[in-house]
Amino acid sequence: MRLDVVTIFPEYLEPLNVSLVGKARARGQLDVRVHDLREWTHDKHNTVDDTPYGGGPGMVMKPEPWGEALDAIIESGTSGTEDARPTIVVPTPSGEPFTQEIAVELAEKPWLVFTPARYEGIDRRVIEEYGDHYDVRELSIGDYVLAGGEAPVLVMVEAVARLLPGVLGNAESHRDDSFAPGAMADLLEGPVYTKPPEWRGRGIPDVLLSGHHGKIARWRRDEAFRRTTANRPDLIERTDPAAFDKKDREMLSILGWGPGEDGRFGRVAPDVEE
Ligand code: ADE
């Protein structure tokens, strides 16, 4: 997969040299190219921003440097016979929420170009212009406002890179991820333990030592219900109740949850202490 990032703070993307993403680059699984937006400015001060039309606080990123940068990057990948078209990812708090499902979608693309903005964002015409010719995704990593899109790029790149074939040591390790599509979809992952068997007087649940795979799987699912009802009740409320088997319903009932008039599950008893 090829990843391009255009930014006025290339050094902010240094973490892409480290850990999982750094190793994937070293192995040739990821071709990451970080570009300084100011390379595509032509004035003495390398200006990338200007005051907003209509007034108001803050500055807006000028369209010309972004246009030149994107044209140059896109051109570098479409030379010859190959018709590689990038997906352009625009991090913005006004975007669609970035979810595991979107990470899975992006992981299937051959080429992503990220455009992290500073200030009040990029002149809208840039998004419209490239949106006419390319797949442009405006994505938010959460309901809070950061000073720029660079940290969201790090977040999204890591979420996508770990899904690429061969990047994580053990392909199975995605399977039980919270939010992973599949059996545990819509449940948060429960607690995990490793050696030693006792630490500061705290043991580990007996079932994990039982060697009984069926019981262990059931325990993990029950713990997932415990966590999800406590931390993300919205995930249970939106789940099709057909996904809950008899044992799930028993656990939900213990936690004070039951079906409402529409069959969907909700809290029916006061909160149970974890
Ligand atoms: N830029 C600033 N805040 C952001 C957020 N929450 N998500 C994506 N990009 C951003």
pLDDT in tens, 38-97: 999 999 999 999 999 999 999 999 999 999 999 999 999 975 444 579 999 999 999 999
- 13 SS3 class: helix
Residues 6+ apart with CB under 8 A from 110: 1, 2, 84
pLDDT tens per residue, range 144-185: 999 999 999 999 999 999 999 988 876 666 766 778 766 566
97 lines ligand 1 (CB under 6 A): no
**Ligand 1 center to 111 CA (angstroms):** 21
Examine the domain organization and report whether 32 and 157 are in the same domain: yes
Quote the domain boundaries for residue 48.
2-161
Please count the structural domains in the chain: 2
User: Which pLDDT score, from 0 to 100, does residue 184 have?
Assistant: 62
DSSP labels, 211-265? --HHHHHHHHHHHHHHHHHHH-HHHHHTS-GGG--HHHHHHHHHTTEEE-TTS-E
- Is residue 242 predicted with pLDDT exceeding 70? yes
**Ligand 1 center to 225 CA (angstroms):** 30
Q: Which atom of ligand 1 is nearest to the CA of 149?
A: 1
121 lines ligand 1 (CB under 6 A): no
Test site for ligand 1: of 5, 92, 150, most ligand atoms within 8 A of the Cβ: 92
DSSP labels, 158-179? HHHHTTSTTTSS-GGGGTT-TT
Q: Which atom of ligand 1 is nearest to the CA of 139?
A: 8
3-state helix/strand/coil string of 90-125: EEEEEEEECCHHHHHHHHCCCEEEECCCCCCCECHH
Residues known to be catalytic:
93, 120, 162, 177
79 domain-assigned: yes
- Is residue 128 predicted with pLDDT exceeding 90? yes
What is the number of alpha carbons within 13 Å of residue 163 lying toward its C-beta?
19
156 domain-assigned: yes
63 domain-assigned: yes
Examine the domain organization and report whether 77 and 142 are in the same domain: yes
User: Which pLDDT score, from 0 to 100, does residue 179 have?
Assistant: 81
In angstroms, the CA 17 to CA 24 distance is: 9
Q: To which H or E segment does residue 136 belong?
A: strand 135-140
Residue 264 in contact with residue 236, Cβ under 8 Å? no
User: Which pLDDT score, from 0 to 100, does residue 43 have?
Assistant: 98
Nearest to 229 by CA among 179, 265, 264: 265
Examine the domain organization and report whether 65 and 139 are in the same domain: yes
166 domain-assigned: no
pLDDT tens per residue, range 22-37: 999 999 999 999 999 9
User: Which pLDDT score, from 0 to 100, does residue 84 have?
Assistant: 77
16 domain-assigned: yes
Q: Which atom of ligand 1 is nearest to the CA of 117?
A: 1
User: Which pLDDT score, from 0 to 100, does residue 81 have?
Assistant: 40
Examine the domain organization and report whether 187 and 61 are in the same domain: no
155 lines ligand 1 (CB under 6 A): no
Examine the domain organization and report whether 21 and 151 are in the same domain: yes
- 140 SS3 class: strand
Examine the domain organization and report whether 14 and 114 are in the same domain: yes
35 domain-assigned: yes
- 207 SS3 class: helix
Examine the domain organization and report whether 149 and 239 are in the same domain: no
**Ligand 1 center to 96 CA (angstroms):** 11
Examine the domain organization and report whether 129 and 55 are in the same domain: yes
142 lines ligand 1 (CB under 6 A): yes
**Ligand 1 center to 166 CA (angstroms):** 29
In angstroms, the CA 260 to CA 56 distance is: 48
